[in-house]
Amino acid sequence: MTDFKKIEDKLKTETKRLLESGEVTVVLAYGKGFDESHPMPYAAKTIADVENMVFNEYCNYNMARYLVRYPQGTKIAIAVKAADSRAVIQLIQEEKVKRENLVILGIPVQGMKNPKTGEIIDSKTTCGMYNPVLFDMLLGEEVHGAKSASPYEVLSQYEEMDKDARWEFWEKELDKCIRCYACRKACPMCYCDPCFIDQSKPKWADKAPQSPGNMMYHLTRFHHLAGRCIDCGECSRACPVDIPLYLFHKKVAKECEEMFNQKAGMSIEDKPVLVDFRVEDSDKILD
């Protein structure tokens, strides 16, 4: 199993080194929260900040979400787990950040937990990978030989439903939405400014937490993330009313993978599938 303490120590040492040498101006990682099971996303900017850093099984946050907050050109070091590294790659593909401005601190990790439920989330709400895809250095030992469930395994029940049942399912689930927009705010790929739902001319949906506005918001967001979602599960964990948003994202990701033979955020050489055109692209959607 993952030695969290060792990773934390390495994270602190590297942060200190990177800040001292001036290689980066900020290190995006994890810091202490109000108690041990509640760590927080953290930005270390000075040596004094290092002592507040932490890494444990509740550090689920995808720090890639914070990259776009810094002006282009800022030298940033970022701690990434497997899915988070895919988000960084996706952001590089989409030209939101440049590879040369990043120092990527990879964290291979197994056994991350949802702080609300305590359950292990490795493949249920995340992409099921243990090792970061892209990194400049690793803060722990790569996980080899561990059985990793398919990230799409949780879809089996969902896929058994027919069209009508799925519509009913989402109507019921999205009816719970209180429109706090935590899902889009926690999402590393939701960086539109302004988000369509905040526009008033035209106003795409009403503000009230009910259908059809809820549907409009979520279905649009789901589709904006087609071929881009890297399955970190942050949207679902951020949701205060536990809407299983990951089901839709995983389903779309699976279909994209089948149709275009490409997974989001796996290589900085790739182009997002819905931006790229290839002659051999699937025509399945036209059938």
Closer residue to another protein in complex, CB, 29/253: 29
CB 77 within 8 A of CB 62: no
Q: Does 186 bind another protein (CB under 8 A)?
A: yes
As a whole number of angstroms, the distance between CA 111 and CA 257 comes to 26
| Selected binder of another protein within 158, 181, 204, 222 (CB under 8 A) | 181
| Selected binder of another protein within 9, 43, 222, 224 (CB under 8 A) | 43
Q: Does 118 bind another protein (CB under 8 A)?
A: no
CA-nearest of 149, 119, 67, 130 to 236 is 119
| Selected binder of another protein within 56, 101, 154, 209 (CB under 8 A) | 209
Q: Does 40 bind another protein (CB under 8 A)?
A: yes
Size of residue set near another protein by CB under 8 A: 37
Closer residue to another protein in complex, CB, 73/240: 240
Closer residue to another protein in complex, CB, 59/256: 59
| Selected binder of another protein within 10, 12, 27, 42 (CB under 8 A) | 42
Which CA distances in Å does 233 have to 7, 48, 82, 153?
22, 32, 12, 14
As a whole number of angstroms, the distance between CA 67 and CA 29 comes to 11
Q: Does 194 bind another protein (CB under 8 A)?
A: yes
CB 178 within 8 A of CB 210: no
| Selected binder of another protein within 21, 156, 157, 200 (CB under 8 A) | 200
As a whole number of angstroms, the distance between CA 14 and CA 56 comes to 17
Q: Does 206 bind another protein (CB under 8 A)?
A: yes
Q: Which residues of 110-136 are buried (b: 16+ CB within 10 A; e: fewer)?
A: bebbbbeeeeebbbbbbbbbbbbbbbe
Binding site for another protein (CB under 8 A): 31, 33-35, 38-43, 61, 65-66, 69, 176, 178-182, 185-186, 193-194, 198, 200, 206-210, 234, 237-238, 240-242
